[in-house]
Amino acid sequence: MQLNWLYDETPIPEILSGGFPEKMVLLDLETTGGKATHHRIIEIGLLVVEQGKVLERWQSFVDPETVLPPFIQKLTGIAPSMLRGAPLFSEVAETLLTYLNDRTLVAHNARFDYGFLKNEFQRIGISYNAKPLCSVKFSRSLYPQFKRHGLDQIIKRFQLPIENRHRALDDAEMIQRFFLKSSALFSDEEIGATCASLLKNPALPPLLKASDIKKLPASAGVYYFYDANGALLYVGKSIHIRNRVMSHFSQDHSNPKDLQINNKLAHIDFEKTPSDLGAQIRESNQIKALYPLYNRRLRKTKKLYQYRCDEDRNGYQRIAIEAVELDSDSADERFGLFRSPRQASKQIEKLADHYFLCHKLLGLESSTATTSVAANQKPCFRAQLKKCFGACHGAESPENYNERVSAALKTYQLKMWPYPGPVLIEERDMQEPEHVAFHVVHNWRYIAKLTLIEDLYDHGYQLADARQNIAAGMSADLTTDSNESDQRSATPSDDRFDLDIYFILVRFLVDAEKMKMNNLKVWPLIAC
C-alpha cells in the first residue's frame, strides 16, 4: 500500500483491479425511510460491471404507493411529481433481476440496500438471495487509519466529483470511482484478498471485529451488544450463543430492530450458564437492571390483573378483569396474570374470536348482567356476523356456552407451587459437569443464585435432612411433608414476585421432560 496516497498523482485507471469479482452490479437505492419492512424504494440506480469495465448504466424511479416524507424530499431532491406515473416495483422487478442474477451485488452499506431488495421482492412473491459486497466494509479493511467510511467522507477524502448526492445512479457512480481509486493504490492481490474475506463473511456488522464472533461459545448463556462508545444496545439469551448472535446478522432484515443494532454494534460480550433456565432468568434480570436501548422494557410490575369468572343470574359465565387479590385462596375462579387491563382485554378478544364467545358476556360490549337475557337483550353485533352463537339473547344454552368458556380459560389456569416449601434448583452443564449453578426459589419467587451450597445459610435456608449430599446424586422426593407448613400459592403476595420469572419457572418446573433435557435437579430446603 502507498501510504502517501493523498498526494499521489498516479493516474486513476479506467478499468477496475482484477482483484474485484469478475461480474458485479454496483447499486444504490433511495427510499421513503430506513426500515426495510415498512418503507419503500423510490429510485434504483446501478452500474453493470464485468471484467473491470462498466457495460451498462440503468436508473428508474419507483412508485412507492405511499406518501413521500418531506425530509426525504429535501435529502434526495426527489419530489412527488417526479414519482407520478413511475412504475411499481413489480413492473421493474423482471428487468432488475436480469441485472442482478449471476452478479455480485455491491452497495455502500450493503445491508441496507440488500434488505430493501429482499423485502420488495418478497412482497411480490419472489425470493431473492445474494452475497453482497459492502463497500463500507471494503473501505474499513483497506483504509483502517480512518474512523469514518460513509460515502460523504469517501467523496471528500478522494475528491470525487459528484453532481447529485443522494440520487441513486450518482451514488452508484461514486462506488465505482472509489473502486477505481483503490485500484491505483492497491495490488490485485490485496484487493482480491479483501473481497474474498468480505464475501466469505458478508453478514458481520461493519463496526464489529471478527474476533468477537470467534470467541462466542456454542453453549447456553446471555450475550450483550455494545456500541463503539460502550453503551449497551441489547441483551439476549440462547441455548447456543454463537448461532443466536449470528441470526441477528441475517441480511433478510425481517426485524427492523436488527438492522438498527447492526449499524451500531461494535463489541459483544457474554456470560455462560449451565442450561437454558439460567440463561432465561439472567436475561430477564439483566434487562430490568441495565435498561438496554433495544430491549422491550421489562420491569417488575407492582400491580397485576387477572380474569375472574362468575355465573350471572341466567347461568352464563361472565369474565371480569380485576386486580390480583393478594393471598387469595379462591384461585379456582381466577385465571391468568397480566400487566394491565388493556393486555388482559386484548387476550379476551382473541379468546372470543377463537371460541365464538359473546362480547357482551365478556364485557367487551355494553350489557346488563342483572336483567333477563332472553326478554330484554338484543343479539350482540357479533351474533349478527355469526361469530357468537347467541348466548347474549338466550339462543344458546348456558351449558354449551360455559363449556367453551372453560375450554378458553383452561390455558390461563394459574399454576400452584408444586412443592411443599422452598427448593434449591441445581443446573449443571452436561458438556462441562464442573459448570454448575444453584437457584433458591419459593412460591414462584426467585430468591437468589448461588455458586456454593454453603451460601444457602446466608439466605436463611439449609438442605433438608437426609438430602444434604448433592454430590451423591440422590433423587429428591418432594412429595414428602416439609417441616414448614404448606405455603403453596398461585398468586403473588409480596414485592419479590416477578411476572417474567414466574412464566420462566412455570415453563421448567411443571414439565418433567424439560427438566430432564436441561439436566435440572430440585432439592427441598428448610428454613434455618
Residues 37-61, buried b or exposed e (16+ Cβ, 10 A)? bebbbbbbbbbbbeebebeeebebb
pTM for the predicted model, two decimal places? 0.59
Which of 172, 200, 228 corresponds to the end of one domain? 200
Beta strands per DSSP E along 32-130: 41-50, 53-61, 104-107
Residue 431: predicted pLDDT: 83
- Range in 279-283, 291-295, 494-498 with the lowest mean pLDDT: 494-498
Which of 384, 412, 440 corresponds to the end of one domain? 412
Can you give the CATH number for the domain in which 284 is found? 3.40.1440.10
Asked if the model's pLDDT at residue 7 lies above 50, the reply is no
More confident: 58 or 334: 58
C-beta separation of 128 from 121 below 8 A: yes
Average per-residue pLDDT for the chain: 85
Whether residues 150 and 34 fall in one domain: yes
Report yes or no on 205 lying in a domain.
Answer: no
Whether residues 170 and 243 fall in one domain: no
- The count of C-alpha atoms lying within 13 angstroms of the C-alpha of 16, restricted to the half-sphere facing its C-beta, is 23
Whether residues 183 and 84 fall in one domain: yes
Q: Tens digit of pLDDT for each residue in 37-83?
A: 899 999 999 999 999 999 999 999 999 999 999 999 999 999 999 99
C-alpha span between 308 and 317 (Å, rounded): 10
Report yes or no on 180 lying in a domain.
Answer: yes
Whether residues 500 and 365 fall in one domain: no
Q: Which residues contact 481 (CB under 8 A, 6 or more apart)?
A: 420
Three-state DSSP class for residue 107? strand
DSSP state of 363: T
C-beta separation of 389 from 396 below 8 A: yes
Average pLDDT over every residue of 331-353: 85
Whether residues 277 and 336 fall in one domain: no
Q: Tens digit of pLDDT for each residue in 234-279?
A: 999 998 898 888 878 765 555 677 778 888 999 999 999 999 999 9
Cα torsion at 83, 85, 86, 88 (round to 10°)? 120
Q: What is the DSSP string of 144-182?
A: TT-S---HHHHHHHHT---SSTT-HHHHHHHHHHHHHHH
Whether residues 68 and 29 fall in one domain: yes
Whether residues 106 and 168 fall in one domain: yes
Q: Kindly indicate the confidence band of residue 168, based on its pLDDT and cuts at 50, 70 and 90.
A: very high
Helix (H) or strand (E) holding 359: none
Residue 377: predicted pLDDT: 65
Three-state DSSP class for residue 476? coil
C-alpha span between 509 and 521 (Å, rounded): 10
Residue 233: predicted pLDDT: 96
Residue 469: predicted pLDDT: 43
Whether residues 65 and 104 fall in one domain: yes
Q: Kindly indicate the confidence band of residue 367, based on its pLDDT and cuts at 50, 70 and 90.
A: low
Which of 290, 318, 335 corresponds to the end of one domain? 290
Query: In terms of residue numbers, what domain contains 397?
Result: 305-412
Average pLDDT over every residue of 437-461: 91
- What is the separation, in whole angstroms, between the first and last Cα of the chain? 71
Q: Which residues contact 407 (CB under 8 A, 6 or more apart)?
A: 355
Q: What is the DSSP string of 308-332?
A: EEEE-TTS-EEEEEEEPPTT-S-GG
Report yes or no on 271 lying in a domain.
Answer: yes
Q: Tens digit of pLDDT for each residue in 478-502?
A: 433 333 334 445 555 556 788 899 9
Q: Strands 104-107, 23-31: parallel, antiparallel or unpaired by DSSP? A: parallel
C-beta separation of 497 from 445 below 8 A: yes
The size of the chain, in residues, is 528
CA distances from residue 42 to 79, 96, 192, 252, 350 in whole angstroms, order as listed: 10, 14, 33, 19, 38
Asked if the model's pLDDT at residue 466 lies above 90, the reply is no
Residue 183: predicted pLDDT: 93
Percent of the chain with pLDDT over 70: 85
Q: Tens digit of pLDDT for each residue in 368-426?
A: 544 444 444 678 888 878 889 989 888 999 999 999 999 999 888 888 898 999 999 99
- Of 141, 164, 140, which Cα lies nearest the Cα of 150? 140
Domains identified in the chain, total number:
4
Report yes or no on 417 lying in a domain.
Answer: no
Whether residues 181 and 67 fall in one domain: yes
Report yes or no on 418 lying in a domain.
Answer: no
Q: Which residues contact 443 (CB under 8 A, 6 or more apart)?
A: 417, 487, 488, 489, 493
Residue 153: predicted pLDDT: 94
Residue 206: predicted pLDDT: 82
* Ranges 293-302, 384-393, 424-433, most confident: 424-433
C-alpha span between 223 and 241 (Å, rounded): 7
Report yes or no on 295 lying in a domain.
Answer: no
Whether residues 221 and 196 fall in one domain: no
Q: What is the DSSP string of 395-415?
A: SS-HHHHHHHHHHHHGGGBPP
Whether residues 354 and 274 fall in one domain: no
Whether residues 311 and 381 fall in one domain: yes
Report yes or no on 296 lying in a domain.
Answer: no
Report yes or no on 300 lying in a domain.
Answer: no
